[in-house]
Amino acid sequence: MRTLMQNRSFMFIWLGQSASALGGTFTTFLMSWLAYEFTGSMVAMGSVWVFYMVPSIIVQLISGPYLDRWDRRAVMVFSEWVRAGTFLIALILFFTGQLGLVYLYIIALVMGIAEPLFRPSSMAYVAQILPKDKLVQGNSSLEGTMQLMMLIGPALAGLLLQLIGVQIIIGMLVIVLGLAGFFLFLLPKSNHTYVQKEGWFTQFKEGLSFYKIYPVLLGVGILLMLMNFCVGAVSPMYLPYVTEVLSGSTFQYGLFMSAFSLGMVLGSVLIGAAKEPKDRRKLMLGAAFLEGVGFLVLGVSSVYVLSLLVAVIQGIFIMSFNIHNTTLYQRRVPEHLRGRVFSIRILLAQAGVPVGALLGGIVADAWGVSILFLAIGSLITLVAIIAFLTPIFKQLNDHVPEVQGETSA
């Protein structure tokens, strides 16, 4: 970590992404709380996130080719300052008594447009400023910090809400997101020189064509989409799982949710300290398989402590897969294609979540939460085994030579 922090550009992107992640966790908590406070309706809470997911997927689809034209630093700063400005308006409306559900929909819409610009730009920028032998450590530090923010953010927001009120939290959110943009503004401009002006479809098709060169990236993308489909199916069911199947309290539910983030933090620390894996295929597909086994254990468990431990371990496996997946893309994708390829990757990952949430609710309602967990665990383990036996996944261990002309900052 000390070596990474000596890289001035990485230090600023770490500070910016840390502030952005904390702001994101505050946003999630605050939006849900305000929607329920204004309406008392769980349907209204869900509809707010529909206003986020739909534009998010659309922007992810459209923006990829343009992210390779624009200055990635400027895109990240724009994303953070637009979010900060939106909540500044929300703060003004709160003090004037005009903040209501309609404006929450507008906030969700703006978040859905601004946030998808940040992630692929950040991934591409990190690949630009770090040498390839430092990418695993860099991604571990960034992902671990982000998960740490997700771990402490909701509890901190809840405590602050109880102690100082919602208006102070909104103000803090403006400051945190504003600081994120400020730290990112201190980064050097992107040094990529892509200046072609083809149409959107031509550029998007060029991004897709890279998956033909490395079909393993498409395979991993589909695997990630399936895993996120499964997470989307089970995540809304954790509350009835803890309170009904495990006979736990709402506090124990909150602790259970934090266990995943704790596992991800531990996973990022372990991966950052470990040497490069000699067999990335076994590591990534093994992590996916063991995540599925974790859901099988949750499906048969009626002991809270056991389920809590499984959640922590699952977080470690999820982080292991994600970090090595991100590093794989950063090492293989040429600099001038990163915005497009990373956007397609994130689009694949997001596409499974809403479908999973819909089907998961149907299965849980018909046959129970435990059956849903068993079905999801069986699906993930089966697909991981099939992937291990599929020849294209052997490319996960291919050596990737350094790309000429790319240097660290």
Report the 10 Å Cβ neighbour count for 102. Answer: 10
Contacts of 108 (CB under 8 A, 6+ apart): 31, 48, 49, 51, 52
Classify residue 397 as left (phi > 0), alpha (psi -120 to 50) or beta.
Answer: alpha
Write out the two tokens for 100. Answer: 């209501």
For a pLDDT cut of 70, what percent of the chain falls above it? 82
Give me the mean pLDDT over the 59-65 stretch. 72
User: In this predicted structure, what is the pLDDT of residue 140?
Assistant: 77
d(CA 394, CA 216): 8
User: In this predicted structure, what is the pLDDT of residue 198?
Assistant: 58
Cα–Cα–Cα angle for 223, 229, 235, rounded to 5 degrees? 130
User: In this predicted structure, what is the pLDDT of residue 381?
Assistant: 94
Among 128-142, 198-212, 290-304, 356-370, name the most confident range: 290-304
Q: Of 288, 325, 6, give the one whose Cα is nearest residue 143.
A: 325
Give me the mean pLDDT over the 348-370 stretch. 77
Given a cut of 80, whether residue 20 has pLDDT beyond it is yes
User: In this predicted structure, what is the pLDDT of residue 339?
Assistant: 65
d(CA 249, CA 239): 9
Q: pLDDT (tens digit, 9 = 90+) per residue, 294-329?
A: 999 999 998 999 999 999 999 888 888 888 877 777
User: In this predicted structure, what is the pLDDT of residue 310?
Assistant: 94
Given a cut of 70, whether residue 407 has pLDDT beyond it is no
Among 80-94, 98-112, 184-198, 258-272, name the most confident range: 80-94
What's the topology of domain 1-185?
A: Growth Hormone; Chain: A; (1.20.1250)
Each domain of the chain, given as residue ranges in start order, spans 1-185, 200-401
User: In this predicted structure, what is the pLDDT of residue 399?
Assistant: 61
Give me the mean pLDDT over the 324-337 stretch. 73
User: In this predicted structure, what is the pLDDT of residue 290?
Assistant: 93
Report the 10 Å Cβ neighbour count for 264. Answer: 27
Mean pLDDT of the chain: 79
d(CA 129, CA 331): 12
Give me the mean pLDDT over the 244-249 stretch. 84
User: In this predicted structure, what is the pLDDT of residue 409?
Assistant: 36
Q: Does the fold of domain 200-401 match that of domain 1-185? A: yes
Nearest-10 Cα torsion for 373, 379, 380, 384: 160
Q: pLDDT (tens digit, 9 = 90+) per residue, 38-55?
A: 876 655 665 676 777 778
SS3 71: coil
Contacts of 340 (CB under 8 A, 6+ apart): 64, 65, 67, 68, 203, 204, 206, 207, 210
Q: pLDDT (tens digit, 9 = 90+) per residue, 104-126?
A: 888 888 888 888 788 778 877 88
Positive or negative, the CA dihedral 360, 366, 370, 374 is negative
d(CA 78, CA 346): 19
What's the topology of domain 200-401?
A: Growth Hormone; Chain: A; (1.20.1250)
Given a cut of 80, whether residue 255 has pLDDT beyond it is no
Q: pLDDT (tens digit, 9 = 90+) per residue, 173-207?
A: 899 889 888 988 988 876 655 545 555 566 666 66
Q: Of 385, 239, 261, give the one whose Cα is nearest residue 314.
A: 261
User: In this predicted structure, what is the pLDDT of residue 338?
Assistant: 66
For a pLDDT cut of 90, what percent of the chain falls above it? 12
Give me the mean pLDDT over the 380-392 stretch. 90
User: In this predicted structure, what is the pLDDT of residue 408?
Assistant: 36
Residue 250 φ then ψ, to 5°: -65, -30
Contacts of 225 (CB under 8 A, 6+ apart): 348, 349, 351, 352
